[in-house]
Amino acid sequence: MARRALKLASLTAATSGIYLYGNKFLDPNDFGIVRVGRAVATVHLRSAERLRKLCCANRGTFIKVGQHLGALDYLLPEEYTRTLKVLHSQAPQSTRQEIEQVIREDLGKEVLLLVVKQIFPDFEFMWLVEEAKKNLPLELDFLNEGRNAEKVAHMLKNFDFLKVPRIYWELSTRRVLLMEFMEGGQVNDKAYMEKNGINVNEISRNLGKLYSEMIFVNGFVHCDPHPGNVLVKKCPASGKAHIILLDHGLYQVLSDSFRMDYCRLWQALIKADMKRVQKYSRRLGAGDLYPLFACMLTARSWESVNRGIDRSPVSAREDVEIRSNAAAYLPQITQLLNNVPRQMLLLLKTNDLLRGIESALHTRASASSFLNMSRCCIRAVSTYQRSKSHSLYRRAQISLAEALSLWQINLYELFLWLKGSQLGNWVIALLSRMHHSTY
């Protein structure tokens, strides 16, 4: 126990010192911007290696934190994500007793965070400790994990591409969970997919469908989709690519009021309706920081949010801007995380992990994925409205409006498909010739 605490204290002090005093020794006027960039990269790499070794040594909670950080390709320096990615598939194994001991030790040493808070006044991550206290016991209850697995399998049974391991209850207890063995490649392993003839765009699209259904329609969300928990495999018999969802210990249950506000916020973001973006961001606790909140949710710049996040793909310049702003706005980000409802914290974590997968596969959210999100939001809001209405006429109105909105989305999706297909090009060319021949 004392040894782990000493290791953590040592890492905290060393890393804080490096970043606290680094600017003093990294002045571009002294030895050039290129050398400064190399020096900063070296600092990042050294700190990341220290963090990886600490995670492997202390295991338990540390592994989970390292896995999450390793998935944030779009946000963190490459030296960190490259170093910590190994924890997704090569994490050291722990016994039950070791895990429980690490948790007791981790949650008993909030003092280290308080020390960092004194060094960096803008550091506001005590909420993370409170969330860990609440969620980690659930993750370690294997009967709870088994029930979650069966619930999500039943809830999403219409998705034939989803596979959830079967639970063998007769051989399971709170400390032992026996489930069906499933194997495949990690969902961020683009090389594996190309080697096995799996379409990365299809996987990314289906993953988006899966999580949109969980978040917007059901309000029961798998909150740990790091690449080690989401596998892909091509079925030899059917030739279809399956998504295998593992580790069902941590789920977020969303209240109806929160879910409806979140649905309407995403509808506003997709439509670039800034008045409603502001309205529903404020209702979700963002206050005057609603522009930052919108950028955090979409992983896009404020300029792109205003223009419409489905209008253009993420550019290299925008990626650099997002990474730079994440560091520059750390005090505001931590303030925002302190203010939003606790339900939002795990959703933000889930969003981060999904964005990391998209970044690794080079399939950042497309117009098609936003259309799927829109469908889920429309269905969710309509179902909620019908449940609150006692009038048959009003329920019929809601159903008609729902059908019309879904039809409009289908029509727009058909237009986009025609626009990008050879048939569509031929039709457009033919109509153009017919138009010019009339004059």
Give me 147's structure tokens: 């029930």
Residue 17, token pair as written in the block: 């010192």
- Quick check: 285 and 341 in contact, CB under 8 A? yes
The angle subtended at Cα 402 by Cα 388 and Cα 305, nearest 5°, is: 100
Alpha-carbon span 1 to 15, nearest angstrom:
21
Candidate list 189, 224, 261, 310, residue with the active-site label? 224
Q: Would you call 106 a catalytic residue per the annotation?
A: no
The residues annotated with a catalytic role in the active site are: 224
